[in-house]
Every structure is written in structure tokens, then in C-alpha cells.
Amino acid sequence: MATKHEQILQYIDKLPIGSKISVRQIAKDLDVSEGTAYRAIKEAETQGYVSTIERVGTVRIEKKQKENIERLTFAEVVNIVDGHVLGGREGLHKTLNKFVIGAMQLEAMMRYIDAGSLLLVGNRYQAHKIALQQGAAVLITGGFDTSEEVKQLADRLALPIISSSYDTFTVAAMINRAIYDRLIKKEIVMVEDILKPLAETPVLLPTDPVAKWHQYTELYHDTRFPVVDEQMRLIGIVTSKDIIGHDQTASIDKVMTKNPITTSPRVSVASSAHTMVWEGIELLPVVDNYRKLVGVLSRNDVLKALQYTAKQPQMSETFPNLIMSHFREERQGEDIVYTGEVTPQMTNHLGTIASGIMTTVIAEVGCNLLRIHRKGDMVPENITVYFLKPVQMESRIHVRPRLLDISRRFGKVEVSVYQGEQMVGQAMVTAQIIDR
């Protein structure tokens, strides 16, 4: 039987998109305490199908799928551009498909506007009105207002009309930046994307006999199974090592490993892989905030995911990518040297290379060298850096990595940084190697 918490989550999930949600109303409708209702609403918000929108309230929204993550809701746009809503608040939960800059004649502009668009335009009331009639929201730049007629139309159509004090160029750049950040997130595979769900996960109860574990091994061709109570809360895990030497009639709770290491659905696969390698485990249970089992993650699942992401084209660049794009890799005999220039963006307020930038370069160079000797993902474990001399803006530096030690799981690299013939920095990088 479902708990009150689960009943509330199921109730919220069945609400129509755009429905208002309140703690008091849910407590009244489902005959639960307001505290229970509040916790369930927060859980639904964490899971991504409820959103709290300023001056509107808590609303049932459509859960964003992984492939849809680059899209923004109009409520998010309001926050991004520091805007305020002039009308159409009921539509803030809706998602925009594209934005159009209204810097042309009205007739030409309307050819580019369709339902789900966001028109960026100044104080052109007629453009505001026609855009709303065509199913698009409106963002008025320059801090301008609009007519009462347009505001009433926006309310009637539940299409937001937003005003921002920024100019059109700045607003477009801010929205682009937000979409760009979403694309970076899209490349990061999360545990929830690859886990084996609970419906496909065989579980054991603490009262089950060891004989049932033997039946499961033959049936599922596996030797590792999570142990749950009647509420599906994780209480242990059983592997072949736990079973050795125990009678078939012994109960699972007498042989299981209690309080096993777990992960959360919203943790990155890379982080979970690090945990599995470090702890030497093959199966990682995935639990929610209430320690209820959501599914399991196996080492094979992790390896497949890392292989898949390695083959994907780069959709956007992170800061380490951008920093390393200024460095050129050269071979000098058997050594590899990275040469680059300290650009103004890499400096601190004194005009010398920032310590964070230097550390990033050292870590990337060290991990690159390890990748040459061992295929896989490198996760830096420890970096000890000595900054010997300040490096001025527009200086040319040479970064020389030297392999000290490498094993199946770990690698150690010494990295020296030179400006001309003078050493300006040195570091020791230790990284964990996650096989693909």
C-alpha cells in the first residue's frame, strides 16, 4: 500500500499542466497534515514536475526531458533578464521554442513568429498585440511598458508579456548564455539516465532465506541483489561473498551487508564511477531522499555510458576546453610540450596568470599525458602546485608533463611550467583512472 507521501506525489502527477498547487488545498483534499503536503510538494519540485514561480505560486509543469533541456520556461526567462511580468502570468510555466528579435517592419517580423516563440522588441504596441494573437510571448526591452489592451489580451491568452530594463542585444546574449549552459548540462550523463529501474531490479526481503538468493542467481544470472523492507527502503545488499559458509535456511538479514554505499538519481555518472572504483564495488543502489530504492547502477552500465558520451560530438565548450584551446601540443623527441599565451582573460587583478587558470592547465596537461598511456576517464585526486614566479599577461609559457607512475587504477604525473628557460611553476598531479 502506498504511503501518504507517495499518494500525494501520484495526485500531483495526475494534475493538468498549469494547475495551481497549495499546501493547504492538498492537505484538505487528501486529508493529510500540511507538513506532509509540504514535503511531498518539495519532492515533486526536486523531481522536476512542479515549479514555484515568483508572484504566481506553485504550479504543475511539464517535466523536461533530457533532449528538451536546452529549452527554457518563460518563468526562467524572467529571472535571467531581471524582468517583471506585465500580463499573462498564468502562462509562465510554458516553454519557449525559440526567440525572435523584432528589428524589422511589422509585416516581415510576423513571418518569423509562431506559437511558442518569444518576441524581443521595444515599445511597439501593435507588434506586442499581433505576436500574442499568433501564440507568442513578448519580452519588451529598454524597460518600456505596454497598453492596457495588450495586458488584458496577454491575461486572456495566458501568454506572458515581460518587461526588462536591458537593451535587446544584452537580453538576447543573456538568453543565449542560459541555453548554452543548458547544452553543457545536456552532455553530462546522470545516474537517472542509465540506471536499471526498480521495476526491472530483483530485490530480496530481510526475511527471505539464503536459498532464495541461490534461486535468483540462476534466474537473473547475477550475484548481487539489494535488500529492502516492506516500504521498499534499502536496508542492505547481498553478494556471493556474504553467502559463503551460510546454510540455505539462514535469513538474508543475518548475512547481508548493512548500510551499503548508495547514490542519488541526480548525481553524475562520472562521480558514481569514481565511487565504485574507489570502493571496489560492482553494484551501486540508487535511492531517493527517503532512502527508498529507485533502481541500481552496475559497473557495466557505467562503462557503456562513458563509452557513449566519449563518442558524442561536442555541443558546447566548458571553461577547461576554452582555456586549453589557447595551447598547442608539440612533440619534442619523446616528450610532449604544451605551448600557449597568457591571454587577458586568464589573468587576475594584478595582470598575472590567475592561480585557478594555472591549476586547470596543469590538471588538463597531466590527465592528457595519462590518457596516452591508458585509455579511460581521468579524475584528478590530488594536485600540489608551487607557484614559483608570477607570469605576466601576454607571456608565452611551456608546460612539460612527465610520467612518474601508472597502474590500472591510478597515475602520477609531474608537471613543470616554464617561461622561456625559467621555471615559473611546478606541480604533482595524482589521478584516478576509470576504464571505458
Q: Where residue 296 falls among pLDDT bands split at 50, 70, 90? A: very high
* Residue 69 placed within a domain: no
Q: Where residue 111 falls among pLDDT bands split at 50, 70, 90? A: confident
- pLDDT at residue 2 tops 70: no
- Who has greater pLDDT, 307 or 26? 26
Min mean pLDDT across 13-22, 86-95, 330-339 is at: 13-22
Q: What are the tens digits of pLDDT across the range 133-175?
A: 999 999 999 999 999 999 999 999 999 999 999 998 899 888 8
- pLDDT at residue 264 tops 50: yes
Instruction: Indicate the residue among 187, 218, 235 that finishes a domain.
Output: 187
| Percent of all residues in the chain with a pLDDT value above 70, rounded to a whole number | 91
- Same domain membership, residue 153 and residue 94: yes
Min mean pLDDT across 186-200, 202-216, 246-260 is at: 186-200
* Residue 65 placed within a domain: no
* Residue 103 placed within a domain: yes
* Residue 430 placed within a domain: yes
- Same domain membership, residue 346 and residue 330: yes
- pLDDT at residue 29 tops 70: yes
* Residue 84 placed within a domain: yes
- pLDDT at residue 415 tops 90: yes
So what's the pLDDT on residue 207? 94
* Residue 67 placed within a domain: no
- Who has greater pLDDT, 30 or 318? 30
So what's the pLDDT on residue 71? 66
So what's the pLDDT on residue 214? 93
> Could you tell me the maximum CA-CA distance found in the chain, to the nearest angstrom?
84
Q: What are the tens digits of pLDDT across the range 60-105?
A: 876 655 444 456 788 888 888 889 999 999 898 888 888 888 878 8
Min mean pLDDT across 98-112, 377-391, 410-424 is at: 98-112
- pLDDT at residue 315 tops 60: no
- Same domain membership, residue 225 and residue 165: no
- pLDDT at residue 224 tops 50: yes
- Same domain membership, residue 123 and residue 229: no
- Same domain membership, residue 207 and residue 304: yes
* Residue 13 placed within a domain: yes
Task: Show the 3-state SS of the chain.
Answer: CCCHHHHHHHHHHCCCCCCEECHHHHHHHHCCCHHHHHHHHHHHHHHCCEEEECCCEEEECCCCCHHHCCCEEHHHHHHHCCCEEEECHHHCCCEECEEEECCCCHHHHHCCCCCCEEEEECCCHHHHHHHHHCCCEEEECCCCCCCHHHHHHHHHHCCCEEECCCCHHHHHHHHHHHHHHHHHHHHCCEHHHHCEEHHHCCCECCCCEHHHHHHHHHHHCCCCEEEECCCCEEEEEECHHHHCCCCCCCEHHHHCEECCCCECCCCEHHHHHHHHHHHCCCEEEEECCCCEEEEEEEHHHHHHHHHHHHHCCCCCCCHHHHHHCCEEEEEECCEEEEEEECCHHHECCCCEECHHHHHHHHHHHHHHHHHHHCCCEEEEEEEEEEECCCCECCCEEEEEEEEEEECCCEEEEEEEEEECCEEEEEEEEEEEEECC
- Who has greater pLDDT, 256 or 314? 256
- Who has greater pLDDT, 162 or 434? 162
So what's the pLDDT on residue 309? 56
So what's the pLDDT on residue 436? 54
Q: Where residue 313 falls among pLDDT bands split at 50, 70, 90? A: very low
Range of the domain at 416: 319-435
- Same domain membership, residue 385 and residue 416: yes
Average pLDDT estimate for 411-425: 95
The pTM for the full model equals: 0.48
| CA–CA separation, 113 and 119 (whole Å) | 7
- The mean pLDDT of the chain is 86
Tell me how many domains the chain contains: 4
The residue among 196, 192, 377, 379 whose CA lies nearest residue 283 is 196
